[in-house]
Chains A and B, each alone.
Chain A
Amino acid sequence: MLFVKKEDSAPLPAPPLDAAAPAKTETATFALG
């Protein structure tokens, strides 16, 4: 559960950056010690 202040719980639109996410991606996986 994320932190939410009761008085500020009105929804916000998704970030423009997320709407612009590329459809095609590749995946990388690392353990950094």
Chain B
Amino acid sequence: MSGIVRTRVGYCGGTRENPTYRSLGDHSETLQMDFDPERLSYGDLLEAFWESHSPEYRSWSRQYASFIFFHGEEQREAALESRSREETRLKKRVYTEIVPYPVFYLAEDYHQKYYMRHYPELMSDFSRMYPDTREFINSTAAARVNGYAAGCGNLARLKSELGSFGLTPEGNKRLMDIVMSRR
């Protein structure tokens, strides 16, 4: 989605300090993003949230539970209203919990930009742009390339922004091939 500036995955909502994937405790796998409020609203993100999973099914584990962790009163109200709308639309109970944002623990490096990691050419380019993994995780370009690698977007859109990703000609070709191969 245009307007998303940074993405990261991690663990949130539980009580265990410094969880890891192998020792998650009572945390849930969580996606956190920074977005540009001039280009994207929290409501837009909530719509994408509901479209991205099936909240009418109760999770069998805390690891895969559905949560909205709200940052402030405005987000809380928007989240409650949107859940109500989703229940009306589905005509079913929605099991998503809406709770105050507590603390977010960043997941291990190998979980970040997960889909891009399937493509060594793309990872090689980003490692040359960002030898520091934290900078790589915070890269808008990396978030967008990861989105294309995950199957989002289309060829026309990719062509319109490919030059802004900073990839080598080989990286550009690889990303174009990835998107064209699924047409």
What is the interface of chain A, defined by CB distance below 8 A to chain B? 1-5, 8-18, 20-22, 24-33
Contact = CB atoms under 8 A, between A and B. Distances in A.
If over half of B's interface residues share one DSSP class (helix, strand or loop), that class is named, otherwise mixed; here it is: mixed
The list of the 10 closest CB pairs from A to B, nearest first, reads A15-B166, A15-B141, A2-B127, A31-B67, A17-B164, A29-B69, A25-B34, A31-B28, A33-B66, A12-B128
Contact of B130 (A10, A14, A33): A14
B140 A33 contact: no
Interface of B: 5-6, 12-13, 28-38, 42, 45, 49, 52-55, 57, 59, 64-69, 71, 75, 101, 104, 109, 117, 120, 123-131, 133, 136, 139-141, 144, 161, 163-168
B69 A31 contact: yes
Contacts of B69: 29-31
B169 to A, nearest CB: 12
B137 to A, nearest CB: 11
A9 B168 CA distance: 12
20 contacts: A1-B133, A2-B136, A4-B128, A12-B168, A13-B129, A14-B139, A15-B139, A15-B140, A15-B164, A16-B164, A28-B32, A28-B33, A28-B45, A30-B30, A30-B49, A30-B68, A31-B12, A31-B28, A31-B67, A32-B52
B123 A27 contact: no
If over half of A's interface residues share one DSSP class (helix, strand or loop), that class is named, otherwise mixed; here it is: loop
Contacts of B13: 31
B164 A27 contact: no
B28 to A, nearest CB: 4
